[in-house]
Amino acid sequence: MRIHSLPTQLVNQIAAGEVVERPSSVVKELVENCFDAGARQIQIEIEQGGARLIKVRDDGCGIVKDDLSLALSRHATSKIASLKDLEQVASMGFRGEALPSISSVSRLTLISRIADADCAWRVHADGTEQDFDPQPDPHPQGTTIDVRDLFYNTPARRKFLKSEKTEFGHIDDVIRRMALSRFDTGFVLSHNQKEIFNLRPACTEKDQEQRIADICGSAFIENSVTIDFEASGLQLTGWVGLPTFSRSQQDMQFFYVNGRLVRDKLVSHAVKQAYQDVLYHGRHPVFVLYLSLEPALVDVNAHPAKLEVRFREGRLVHDFLFSALHRSLADLRPGSQTSAIPFQIPEVLPVGTSTPISTVSSAPSFEAKSVSRSWRPEQVALPFRVEEEIKAYASLYPVEKPLLQSEQPIQTSKEIPPLGYAVAHLHNVYILSETNNGIILVDTHAAHERVCYEKLKQQYQNSSVVTQPLLLPIKIKVSVKEAELAEQELEFFTSFGFELDRSGPETLVLRSVPTLLAQSDVEALIRDVLADISAIGSSRRIQEHANQILATIACHGAVRAHRRLTVSEMNALLRDMERTERIGQCNHGRPTWIELSTQELDKFFLRGQ
């Protein structure tokens, strides 16, 4: 065939393949247009999961009569006018593709009215971008877009739609996620003439937390920490869940960049690293976070559905996110308002990591399924060789025992410390302590393990790194790009005790390593570090390997279960806990202590009822 131009409607239908994946994609595009119009109230009406009807109404600025035909034409927009505008997009939409693409695979009606107009105007579209005949309409100020019979003229696409319940579930998820990005906007969602939810504008902090609770469940707010960090032109705000409030899936992770919900590998990596020391393996943190930065520093035009972004200073963003979250989690200590782990009955999930029954969200689409097995991680004996290596490392970084060896009377004070004073050692495993608010239960081994671990990390970071020269230098074959990267990062490797040289276009020579990592696979470690730096601009693998060894030393140096402690020893441990970062979890992510308030104790015995 000769080269020829495609018909306008077919061009729009091809574009619809990228923009309109399913009904929820249509809803997302239309609601984003409402945001850009300055809407303060948005109503979404759905019928038959969106296949029959999607109607989105807002009270925004509206569209003037003469611009209605342009609004339904490709690459026509009011949001950008030049390349400079494209490089610093602040609006949700900017390509001018959504409406013509949607109209090419549905029966679309657009009704809009501006503030001073005598009436609204209505047009119909079929994707051909012609034959527009505006008609007057009594619609109030704002815009309504009525999308009927989605994919009626593309039956192959319609066959890929799932059941009505499934498609509406995706729409419900999209609206809830978008509602988290605009607290000042109200949302009403209905399906088959039945109202599903009605979220009022949330202008105060209390109202915002209520909206979070309505979407993510009230337990999310009860088990979360407020974040507010600003540095280097970046600002991070929002809520992050306590490490003990984790999920088996990544279904409660919401990250917004300048109000736009995104999924980004760089962001995910920074969050994962921030939780590494405190989260049980196989579990995922929960968070609702908002990153604000100059629009020119982020490219939102990197994905057809705008779900991914690119940061101009990726390394800066990664380090900022890690530092903000890492510091916030480290500051969770006894006495802070959100540090206590309330007593709750867990699901049938791994101990210390389950989502309590009371934390299940009121939204069905965010509920976690229970696992049908219950188990508790057991401490097993290490192989003899590993045990000997641990003893060797422990001689370099001895654990400072915080427990007292002699009985001493409790120091009486008018002000009781956050973790109170020890009353008993239950089953030689748990410390029972009385506080102003109620009682505290402490897992002795888990708490002492975290105390020892943090002290070891502090010793390791504050002392000069002990290096060990290799009898036979190790030659590492890498690519030319990796060799050049290693040469650029020599100072970074030297700071951790690695003596690394480049001896050829594709060869690195390792001459010495830090003593703590002498028994590790250092060649694989070097490769992984280079891969990290190449992908995200930085790497913490060396620190993580060192921390793994220090954690093992701390675990074996901590007081063992079933060893009877005196009252003075228990109180000494409680005081150390109050001074220790990340004390809420042990090195394996299990909780170290829980609190029962006097109110909860009263409920057990029906007091005051």
Q: How far is CA 44 from CA 60, 174, 175, 188, 481, in A?
A: 14, 12, 9, 6, 51
Which is higher by pLDDT, 260 or 553?
A: 260
**Token pair for residue 96?**
């001018």
Of 111-125, 497-511, 532-546, where does mean pLDDT reach its minimum?
A: 532-546
Q: Is residue 375 predicted with pLDDT exceeding 50?
A: no
Domain 205-366 class? alpha beta
Which is higher by pLDDT, 587 or 324?
A: 324
Q: How far apart are CA 64 and CA 62, in angstroms?
A: 7
**Token pair for residue 493?**
């490797």
39 pLDDT band, cuts 50/70/90, is: very high
Please state the rounded mean pLDDT for residues 461-474: 82
* CATH architecture, domain defined by 8-199: 2-Layer Sandwich (3.30)
Is the pTM higher than 0.85? The answer reads no
DSSP H helices, 201-276, are 205-216, 218-222, 265-274
Q: How far apart are CA 263 and CA 269, in angstroms?
A: 11
Q: Is residue 38 predicted with pLDDT exceeding 90?
A: yes
**67-114, pLDDT tens digit by residue?**
998 888 888 888 877 888 777 788 887 777 888 889 888 999 999 999
Q: What percent of the chain has pLDDT over 90?
A: 37
pLDDT of 62: 94
Which is higher by pLDDT, 432 or 381?
A: 432
366 pLDDT band, cuts 50/70/90, is: very low
- The residue ranges of every structural domain in the chain are 8-199, 205-366, 378-609
pLDDT of 521: 84
pLDDT of 186: 96
**195-209, pLDDT tens digit by residue?**
999 999 998 999 999
Contact 526, 513 (CB under 8 A): no
Q: How far is CA 60 from CA 75, 218, 252, 346, in A?
A: 22, 31, 30, 45
pLDDT of 387: 52
* Residue tagged 């696979």 (tokens): 521
17 pLDDT band, cuts 50/70/90, is: confident
Which is higher by pLDDT, 527 or 342?
A: 527
Domain 378-609 class? alpha beta
Please state the rounded mean pLDDT for residues 543-553: 77
Helices 444-462 and 567-579 cross at an angle (nearest 10°) of: 50
544 pLDDT band, cuts 50/70/90, is: confident
CB-based burial label for 20 (10 Å; 0-12, 13-18, 19+): buried
Q: How far apart are CA 343 and CA 333, in angstroms?
A: 17
Q: Is residue 355 predicted with pLDDT exceeding 50?
A: no
Contact 498, 512 (CB under 8 A): yes
Q: Is residue 380 predicted with pLDDT exceeding 60?
A: no
Q: Quick count: other Cβ atoms within 10 Å of Cβ 526?
A: 23
363 pLDDT band, cuts 50/70/90, is: very low
CA torsion angle 323 325 327 330 (round to 10): -140
367 pLDDT band, cuts 50/70/90, is: very low
Instruction: Residue 100: name the closest of 37, 8, 24 by CA.
Output: 8
3-state secondary structure 389-413: HHHHHHHHCCCCCCCCCCCCCCCCC
Q: How far is CA 191 from CA 41, 144, 165, 168, in A?
A: 18, 17, 10, 8
Contact 234, 320 (CB under 8 A): yes
Q: Is residue 36 predicted with pLDDT exceeding 70?
A: yes
**Token pair for residue 550?**
């220090």
Q: Is residue 488 predicted with pLDDT exceeding 70?
A: yes
Q: How far apart are CA 255 and CA 309, in angstroms?
A: 12
Q: What average pLDDT does the chain have? A: 82
Q: Quick count: other Cβ atoms within 10 Å of Cβ 191?
A: 19
Q: How far apart are CA 127 and CA 424, in angstroms?
A: 76
**148-181, pLDDT tens digit by residue?**
999 988 888 888 899 999 999 999 999 999 999 9
